[in-house]
Structures are given as C-alpha cells and as structure tokens.
Amino acid sequence: MKLKIKNLSFVTGGPFVSVMNHHDADDRDIKPGDRILIRKNGKKIISVVDISDDGRIKKGEIGLFDEVLNYLNTEKGDVDVTLAKRLKSLGFIRKKLEGKRLSKKELFEIVRDINANNLNEVELTYFVSACYSQGLNMREIEDLTDAIVRSGSRLNLRRDIIVDKHCSGGISGNRTTMIVVPIIASLGIIIPKTSSRAISSPAGTSDTMEALASVSFDVKEIKRIVQKTNGCMVWGGAVDLASADDKMIKVRHPLSLDPEGLLLASIMAKKKAVGATHILIDIPYGRGSKFNTKKQAFSLKKKFLEISNVLGIEMKVVLTDGRQPVGNGIGPNLEAKDVLKVLMGDGPDDLRDKAIFMSTEILKMLHIKNARKIVIDCLNSGVAYNKMKEIIKAQRGDIFLPEQLEVGRFKKNIYSTRKGRVKELNNKNVSKVARVAGAPLDKTAGLYLYKKLNDTVKSGDLLFTVYSSSSKRLDYALDIIKERNPYVIG
C-alpha cells in the first residue's frame, strides 16, 4: 500500500511512530499498537502505528513523526506500507518475565531492536522490569554487556593506557569523578569519562558537569576534546556509545529501577566502548546506601572482577563508606560549587579526601611511585584546577568559579530541635527531599548540608538548607522532611 507522507512535526524522543487513517488501517486489518514496515528510497524501518479517525490524517495519508522522517531522509512523497512481522524480541522479553534464562542470541536480538527503536517504552519497560524481578546470571550479564558494546560505536583513541572510573551510585553529592578526571588528565594520562544522567539520585556526573559546560557531543567531538585535554566528562546518552544502555536508563528513571544485572552491564559496556584498559570501581556501602552491608558490596565486587576478566580489562574495586552523602551540596549546581571549591584549594574535606584516595588508587594501578604525593601536589599547586578549566573550555563551557552558579531563589533553613550528635544522615531521604525540590532537572534545586555523622549539634543549630526555583516544589519538599527528615539526632 502506498501512502502520502504528512509531516506531523512531532518528536517522540525514542521509538518510531506513525499515524494512519482508520479506513486505510481497516483495509489492512491494522490495529493501534501494531507495527508497520515503511519503505522509501531503499530504506526501511519498523514503526509503531496509531489510528486517526478525527480527520487530521486523510485517507491515503500517513502521519510521520520526526524520527521516522529523519531516518528515511525525506519530508514528502509516498512510502510503501505493509504490516510488519511480530518482533522475535517480544517473545524473548516474555521468556525473561517468566523467569527463564536468555541466550546470547536472544539478548543480541533484544539489544538490536532497542537500538533500532523497534521497541516502544512499554515493551522496553517490561524488559527492564524482568531484569529487576527475575535477575540476570553472570553469563547473561556478560552476553548483554557484549551485545550493548557491539551494537554501538566505539571511541578508538589508539592508546596503550586508557583509564576510567565509576561509582555504583546511591550516594548523594559523590562527585569525585569531576575532581579525579582533571587530576589524572593533568598528569598526561588519558581518561575519557562518559556518564549517565541521574536515575535515582538528585544529580549524576553528567547533570553536574552540565552546570559548567556542555556534555552532549558525538564521537568525533569527544575524540577532539580528549586529544586536546587528555580527558572529558560527557553524557553517554548523547552519543552512540553503548546507546542501548541509555535507552534502558530512560525507562529505569521514572521508577528509580537499578537492577544489579543491568547496572553491571551498563557500566562495563560504557567502559569497553571508550577503550578503557584500566578501571577503578567505587562501591559505597552502609546503612541508607544502595548496598547496606559489606557482604552485598563484596558480592558485587566479585562480579565486576569476573566480567573485567572476561573483557580483558585490568580492574580494581574499592569498597568505601556509604553511610552518608559526600560533600555538602546536593543537586547539580550545588555539587558543582563543591567541585570547583575543592579544585581551588577549599571545599568539603570529605569530598577532597575521597577524590585524593580515588586518584591515588588509579596511579597505583599504573605502578606510579609516590602516587598520593603526586595527587596532592596536583591539587595544591592548582594544576588540576587549570586542567579542569581546559576541559570546561573544550566542552564549550564558560563557568569556572563557584559564585557563577546560581541556587534556587526559594529556600528554607532546617534547624535542629534538640541537642546531641548526628546518629544518622540517611542518603535515601536526602535524595528524596532534593528530588522533590526539583533536582536534577532544576539545576538550582537541592540541599546544602551543614552537619555530618557524629557532629555535635545544639538545639537551634542549622542542619541544612533546601533550595528550589519553585515555591510549590519547596513546599512539597518541606512536607517530605516532616515525614522523612534525613537527620537523626540523639
């Protein structure tokens, strides 16, 4: 069936979508949600179809969204339309939902359809949910990692040593990457850092770096930045590096789903895609973090090491204290302020100390002597800060000072109602309050913490400040604080 193109001038942000007139659909027994095969100029795509009966799409027309038009490289003319065969990957997703194990071939088929935008968000959510509820065994994780890497582009830097680092997450304010990258890069070591946006936290590395510079670049631009500065901090979702993973992250975000199997595959696929030869993994654990016990953290460590061995990557995994946030600022701009202050010789001691520790561990992996002294000298001399400014400029940024970063114009100070010590500073509650206040989408929103674990507190002492660009969101955050105050004083 030939149908005339109607440009709908709409963006789906993901799956290929088209709209048919109900008469044309009835003639071919096509139902809403079915998939159709669209051909033009030697190209073909599979699109999810919706049906129009309100006259906006006339008989003989087909409404196409921007993603379809861009892929077909056309805006007018006719297209050939037929009913597409049922995707094999849907059967494999159902198989996973039933608790069965998937083969390498089946996982590759699912990833292929994710990359081709053949799966809609509901179907992709089913796959993520199946991985969450049924889990992935080590063979599935390895095969999924391989499938994600092979289906996307790679950053071919052609260097013998390429360093990367990653944190398993769950700790608010843990922006060590933005200090470690300029330290390592200033020493002439290549460290291309691709990161995801926040899934369950008030800010990811990409969200925070975006407060200072652009993070969306293609592979060619990333290579240019790294060749110029030795490092970068970019968003993986903006480039075809492990792109299937970023599509899964998009559907994991609303429900804050972070299944272990997908976490492992996600991290390792991104590292392999940038050509990493040496990786440092940070797994924070402790009450209120993603991993409550050392046993859980150690189990994940073993799995990381097993996968790195399969992929031929040298890896070191460190278990760190995750009982409370790292740094004082929580939320993109507030965290970026902390980072710049540390690089300028000030800032929160815990963030500085952890960044020094992580950088030192990387140098030790590379068998560099006097590692800790070298790292501290980089910070104290301003060399790391100057490298950060280089990277910001290379990424089209122009913010280099903490005072250039705005905070939400609506704020509320929260004071202690009793004296004692800080017995608990709950990561999950900190994250919840900051996200309700608007972070990470509102870069000015978040919390600023004034007290940490075991600090002495008097009645009336300032514990933290909540910021938001919306008075309503600030009110919602204050309601959450009444139910789930991050601080326990005793």
Evaluate whether residue 253 is within a structural domain: no
Do 278 and 204 reside in the same domain of the chain? yes
Q: H-helix or E-strand containing 163? A: strand 163-167
Q: Can you give the residue range of the structural domain that contains 311?
A: 163-239+260-403
Domain containing 291 — which CATH number?
Answer: 3.40.1030.10
User: Does residue 258 have a pLDDT over 80?
Assistant: no
Do 439 and 314 reside in the same domain of the chain? no
Q: What is the pLDDT of the chain when averaged over all its residues?
A: 92
Task: Check residues 246 and 339 and name the one with the higher pLDDT.
Answer: 339
Q: How many domains does the chain have?
A: 4
Do 62 and 129 reside in the same domain of the chain? no
Q: Which one-letter amino acid corresponds to residue 296?
A: Q
Lowest mean pLDDT among 165-174, 256-265, 271-280, 331-340: 256-265
Do 64 and 97 reside in the same domain of the chain? no
User: Does residue 13 have a pLDDT over 80?
Assistant: no
Supply angle C-alpha 242, 245, 249, rounded to 5: 145
Please identify which of the residues 143, 246, 258, 338 carries the catalytic annotation: 258
pLDDT recorded at residue 240: 63
Domain stops at, among 403, 433, 448? 403
The count of other CB atoms within 10 Å of the CB of residue 86 is 10
Do 316 and 386 reside in the same domain of the chain? yes
Evaluate whether residue 125 is within a structural domain: yes
Evaluate whether residue 252 is within a structural domain: no
Domain containing 473 — which CATH number?
Answer: 3.90.1170.30
Is 258 among the residues known to form the active site? yes
Domain stops at, among 403, 422, 437? 403
Evaluate whether residue 156 is within a structural domain: no
Evaluate whether residue 196 is within a structural domain: yes
Do 227 and 274 reside in the same domain of the chain? yes
Do 341 and 467 reside in the same domain of the chain? no
pLDDT tens, position by position, 317-365: 999 999 999 999 999 999 999 999 999 999 999 999 999 999 999 999 9
Domain containing 70 — which CATH number?
Answer: 2.40.40.20
Do strands 191-195 and 231-235 pair parallel, antiparallel, or not at all (unpaired)? parallel
pLDDT tens, position by position, 160-192: 999 999 998 889 999 999 999 999 999 999 999
pLDDT recorded at residue 121: 77
Compute, in degrees rounded to 10, the torsion defined by CA atoms 461, 465, 466, 470: 120
Do 387 and 439 reside in the same domain of the chain? no
pLDDT recorded at residue 282: 96
Domain stops at, among 83, 118, 144? 83
Do 74 and 180 reside in the same domain of the chain? no
The residues that bridge with 50 in the sheet, in sequence order, are 19
CB 207 within 8 A of CB 443: yes
Do 217 and 125 reside in the same domain of the chain? no
The residue assigned the tokens 């046993």 is 295
Q: What is the pTM of this model?
A: 0.82
pLDDT recorded at residue 237: 66
Do 224 and 302 reside in the same domain of the chain? yes
Evaluate whether residue 58 is within a structural domain: yes
Evaluate whether residue 384 is within a structural domain: yes
pLDDT tens, position by position, 414-445: 999 999 999 999 999 999 999 999 999 999 99
Share of residues in the chain with pLDDT > 70 (%): 96
Do 321 and 235 reside in the same domain of the chain? yes
